[in-house]
Amino acid sequence: MTTTAAARTAATPTPATTAAPPARPSASTATTTDPTGARSAEAAGVITDARERIDALDDRILGLVQERMAVSAVVQKARIGSGGRRVHLSREMEILGRYRDALGRPGTSLAMTLLELCRGTV
């Protein structure tokens, strides 16, 4: 089977027919260029400022947790030194209730995490 040059030329796609049209950025692509996820410069500024404040608050919270751990170690050492147990369950229940009352159900989880961090290995 032989084909003519004209038939081969007609069957061969040209670059113009195979090239896809330039892609338009989708709405999600256009909005993800800002690290804040904001869609306006004003909102990005508000978010950036708020994130800086959150970071500063987190630094304070971490410092307070570390201070709480140190104070708890003093309490445990004194209790164990006097013949008591390392953990005082009724006190832990008070703390759980306090956090639950202030923060709702998630407060209980937060208090449990703090208690676990503060129990130490004295």
pLDDT by residue (tens digit) across 90-103? Answer: 999 999 999 999 99
As a whole number, the mean pLDDT across the chain is: 83
- Band the pLDDT of 122: cuts 50, 70, 90: very low
Structure tokens at 78: 């004194």
pLDDT at 86: 87
Taking 70 as the threshold, does the pLDDT of residue 66 lie above it?
yes
pLDDT by residue (tens digit) across 29-47? Answer: 444 568 999 999 999 999 9
Give one DSSP letter per residue of 4-52, joined into a string: -HHHHHHHSPPHHHHSPPPPPPPHHHHHTTSTT--SSHHHHHHHHHHHH
Structure tokens at 120: 């130490």
What is the average pLDDT across 73-92?
A: 94
